[in-house]
Structure 1
Amino acid sequence: MAYRYDADLEFLRSVPNKSLDDLVDLFKKEASLTEGLSMDEKYKRYYPDHQKYIERIMEEIQLFGGNSFANLFRGNQGVQYKEILCDVCDKMKVNYSKSADAQHIEQDLLNKILDDHLKKLNARELEEFLKELNLVDKTKTVISYTPQAVSAILQAAIKAGGFASYQIILITVNAVWKAIFGTGLKLAANATITRVVGVLAGPVGWAITGAWTAADLAGPAYRITMPACLLIAKLRMESQQNN
């Protein structure tokens, strides 16, 4: 087996080791019967210095994107990340374009997850969520805090990028992590994370987390690839903010 060069994963080479912990843990804990990362000699020698075996981590992502039978016909290699991402989007009935780049497809996946679960929040929770993200209309225009209206605001913020976009991604990924795995992300300590922790720990963070249930997201088809795609989207955003 070998890592296939993948332009959509190469940014992981510059991600700090601590930020890669959740990705490595995903394979070790949730795919313990099928993963091969923990058996790798470089992993055994250098863990937790993940950058010393970053290609093996990227290979693991690709391998989980295809089944063993299919991988045999690829020369025992896995699936390119964008193909994995599109497969997740197809399973979750995301409206996206296969010709778009991976980052835009990740945003479409994020928007779909938000759309599905904003419906479970009441008007007060929706308003508080926007306030926490500093996205309440500064013009004081009367707004109806419906899931559709809030979804439109969040989609615009995600598309615009910046800190609000990162907050939305982090809150969503953390909520999905708690719903599936029973615990939040391991957050590397830095100034950006510190500014988001209050939202995660506060009533809005709990409301968003509570909108997901294990039944929604923990099916076999999603337990590895869907969380991996969301985590990669988060890491991509962090990488861009740090550049």
Structure 2
Amino acid sequence: MSEIKLREPDPDLIPLLRKCSSEELDNLVGYLTQKGGVSSQLKSTRAYRQWCPDHSKYADEIIAEIQKYGGNTIFNIARGGVGVTYRDIVLKVASRLKVKTAKDEPIDRIEEKLLMKVLEKSWEKMSDKEKKTLIEGIMPETGVDDLPKEFPTALLKAAIIAGGGIVSYRLSLIVAGAVARASLERGIAFVAGTSLARWSAAFAGAVGLGLTALWTLFDVLGPAYRVLVPCVLHISMLRQLHALRDSGLDPQQMPAGSEGTERREILFRKFS
């Protein structure tokens, strides 16, 4: 039983984080303990003191802490000390970032919209070279010369559909990695040493430029969002990763850009 009161059921968060490895949970623990300040309870739990850095041993404490940050402190007390569901957290973050969503949308679709918002903010700060690198990294061998001035939302959505989950995961990895470097001064531990790690690191600087504006926004929104937004972006990436694994694919074992290029080239002819 979690020492921090766990809100159940929470189907969008509990099953996912309970099956994650310690390395996959590591940045979430970093956001909660390093950015949570004095309001963080996780470090004071017996489970954390006993098992850290084997985070998978106390996944429920991590989940409960995230839920707690999603709720107003006074209302948490009124609820008997429990926080709010992950869906409530994601909807709250989306509203604050002015991302239009519906309450009954699939959680992965809402997370995808948040990723797009971060990439859109980053696009505004990128040079043409960085934009070209980003697009070619997502969809290699495209030969795009004329880059759109506006953020290519339609193109990226089409790429996600054509990529069968791989493109969506890579987008989430770019964003989660850039957030981790900006906030925790480290990358994503479980991809370290893989081709994906080298690939995503190439975009960290470009995406990081756009994150500067978002960090300022987080400060305005309040200290809880300095924890919640990075957590949501990391969880989005974990959801994409485990969805691929559940379908029989392991992106950690696939070279970046290894999926077929024909469909990508067709998409770029259509949207470039």
**1:84-110: CA deviation from partner (whole Å, max 9, x where unpaired):** 110000000002222102111101111
Instruction: Indicate the residue corresponding to 1:36 in structure 2.
Output: 41
Instruction: Indicate the residue corresponding to 2:11 in structure 1.
Output: 7
Instruction: Indicate the residue corresponding to 1:52 in structure 2.
Output: 57
In 2: Cα distance, 1:147 partner to 1:61 partner: 37
2:150 to 143, 148, 151: 148
Once the two structures are overlaid, the 10-residue window that deviates more, 100-109 or 42-51, is: 42-51
In 2: Cα distance, 1:154 partner to 1:32 partner: 36
Instruction: Indicate the residue corresponding to 1:198 in structure 2.
Output: 198
In 2: Cα distance, 1:114 partner to 1:168 partner: 9
1:242 aligns with 2:241: no
**Structure 2 portions without partners, runs of 5+:** 247-272
> Do the aligned residues in 2 keep the contact of 1:126 with 1:147 (CA within 8 Å)?
no
Q: Counterpart of 1:224 in 2: which secondary structure?
A: helix
In 2: Cα distance, 1:240 partner to 1:216 partner: 32
In 2: Cα distance, 1:2 partner to 1:177 partner: 27
1:64 aligns with 2:69: yes
Instruction: Indicate the residue corresponding to 1:157 in structure 2.
Output: 159
**Structure 1 portions without partners, runs of 5+:** none
| % identical aligned pairs | 31
1:74 to 59, 76, 79: 79
In 1: Cα distance, 2:184 partner to 2:21 partner: 25
In the TM superposition, residue 189 of structure 1 has moved relative to its aligned partner by 4.1
Q: Counterpart of 2:37 in 1: which secondary structure?
A: coil
Instruction: Indicate the residue corresponding to 2:103 in structure 1.
Output: 98
> Do the aligned residues in 2 keep the contact of 1:63 with 1:77 (CA within 8 Å)?
yes
> Do the aligned residues in 2 keep the contact of 1:171 with 1:205 (CA within 8 Å)?
yes
Number of positions where the alignment pairs a residue of Structure 1 with one of Structure 2: 236
* Amino acid across the alignment from 2:195: R
> Do the aligned residues in 2 keep the contact of 1:173 with 1:230 (CA within 8 Å)?
yes
> Do the aligned residues in 2 keep the contact of 1:126 with 1:150 (CA within 8 Å)?
no
In the TM superposition, residue 155 of structure 1 has moved relative to its aligned partner by 2.5
In 2: Cα distance, 1:195 partner to 1:93 partner: 34
TM-score (norm 2): 0.78
Instruction: Indicate the residue corresponding to 1:88 in structure 2.
Output: 93
Once the two structures are overlaid, the 10-residue window that deviates more, 109-118 or 56-65, is: 109-118
In 2: Cα distance, 1:188 partner to 1:168 partner: 16
In the TM superposition, residue 182 of structure 1 has moved relative to its aligned partner by 5.6
TM-score (norm 1): 0.87
* Amino acid across the alignment from 2:189: L
Alpha-carbon distance change, 147 to 7 in structure 1, aligned in 2, over 3 angstroms: farther
> Do the aligned residues in 2 keep the contact of 1:62 with 1:79 (CA within 8 Å)?
yes
**1:179-199: CA deviation from partner (whole Å, max 9, x where unpaired):** 3x2613332147xx7122222
> Do the aligned residues in 2 keep the contact of 1:173 with 1:231 (CA within 8 Å)?
yes
> Do the aligned residues in 1 keep the contact of 2:94 with 2:114 (CA within 8 Å)?
yes
